[in-house]
């Protein structure tokens, strides 16, 4: 399993697509910081969210304000990580090159676990890269500034919430990838399913549905007092989806014929 992880990481870091993705992410950060503009994917309707966006626009974007601003745009990371899913797992499943490792003694559980572990580690690094580059870019252009009260505690909580919600979205795509062996189906599901839930949650007053709106949770994890919304419940729903879908994906892969 260790050798499989090392081989996959070596291949990933020697793929041009990986570095193109990092370049585009840096470009997104620089343009956003330079324009001091925020944006979100999906539908939002909360007064707290509107107020947060207004305060961000009114303040100078020093490093700390930029970090807060970028926390409200974290769902854009979904689109930057789509190519990574294809590079890490999509290629092998679509072309069925996993057969080589399975016939050499690697178990299906080890293979599936290594792929998912690599994706978790790489996406964690993407979060680190995203926030660090935003913080440093703002420091160069507008100065570091003064940290708000409890900034670092809130920052760690925010990233933790976002990362778990992020994994809940991608495990659905990974499950569909394993079942269909189609990168297209996987990518479409990652983009479309969260948008459908987001729009449905905004339009219909269904209490439990908002906790499946992972995209909303990712964008507004910084806001601690959302009306009629519990972050612990959101984390429970996200973790439940990760557990159920990862088990489903593994079972589907376990029963695939060579």
Amino acid 105: pLDDT: 76
Amino acid 55: pLDDT: 64
Helix (H, G, I), strand (E, B) or coil at 234: helix
Global pTM reads 0.90
**CB 126 within 8 Å of CB 118:** no
- Listed in sequence order, the DSSP H helices in the chain are 2-13, 16-35, 47-58, 63-71, 77-85, 91-95, 98-103, 108-142, 151-180, 183-203, 214-219, 231-254
Model confidence pLDDT, tens digit, residues 18-60:
999 999 999 999 998 888 777 666 555 555 555 666 666 656 7
Per DSSP, the residues of 163-225 read: HHHHHHHHHHHHHHHHHH--HHHHHHHHHHHHHHHHHHHHHS--TTGGGG-HHHHHHTTT-S-
Domain that holds residue 49: 2-254
Question: Structurally, how many domains does the chain consist of?
Answer: 1
Model confidence pLDDT, tens digit, residues 221-237:
998 888 888 999 999 99
Model confidence pLDDT, tens digit, residues 1-13:
677 677 778 888 8
- Copy the structure tokens of residue 107: 């178990």
Amino acid 28: pLDDT: 92
- Copy the structure tokens of residue 69: 């601003």
Token pair 């690094």 in the structure block, residue? 125
Q: What is the Cα–Cα distance from 42 to 217, expressed in whole angstroms?
A: 11
Model confidence pLDDT, tens digit, residues 163-199:
999 999 999 999 999 998 889 999 999 999 988 888 8
Q: Is the pLDDT of residue 15 over 90?
A: no
Q: What is the Cα–Cα distance from 183 to 177, expressed in whole angstroms?
A: 6
The single-letter DSSP state of residue 257 is: -
């Amino acid at each position: 399993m260790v050798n499989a992880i090392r081989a996959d990481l070596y291949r990933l870091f020697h793929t041009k697509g990986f570095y193109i993705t990092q370049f585009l992410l840096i470009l997104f950060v620089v343009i956003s910081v330079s324009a001091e503009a925020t944006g979100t994917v999906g539908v939002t309707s909360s007064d707290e969210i509107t107020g947060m966006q207004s305060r961000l626009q009114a303040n100078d974007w020093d490093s700390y304000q930029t970090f807060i601003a970028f926390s409200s745009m974290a769902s854009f990371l979904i689109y930057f990580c789509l190519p990574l899913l294809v590079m890490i797992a999509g290629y092998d499943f679509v072309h069925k090159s996993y057969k080589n490792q399975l016939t050499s003694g690697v178990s299906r559980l080890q293979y599936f676990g290594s792929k998912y572990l690599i994706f978790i580690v790489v996406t964690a690094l993407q979060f680190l890269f995203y926030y660090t580059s935003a913080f440093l870019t703002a420091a160069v252009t507008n100065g570091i500034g003064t940290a708000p009260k409890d900034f670092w505690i809130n920052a760690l909580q925010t990233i933790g919430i976002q990362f778990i919600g992020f994994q809940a979205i991608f495990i659905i795509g990974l499950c569909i990838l394993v079942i269909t062996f189609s990168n297209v189906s996987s990518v479409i599901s990652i983009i479309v399913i969260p948008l459908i839930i987001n729009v449905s949650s905004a339009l219909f007053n269904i209490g439990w549905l908002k906790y499946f709106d992972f995209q909303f949770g990712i964008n507004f994890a910084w806001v601690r007092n959302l009306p009629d919304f519990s972050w612990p419940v959101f984390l429970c729903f996200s973790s439940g989806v990760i557990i159920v879908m990862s088990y489903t994906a593994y079972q589907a892969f376990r029963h695939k014929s060579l």
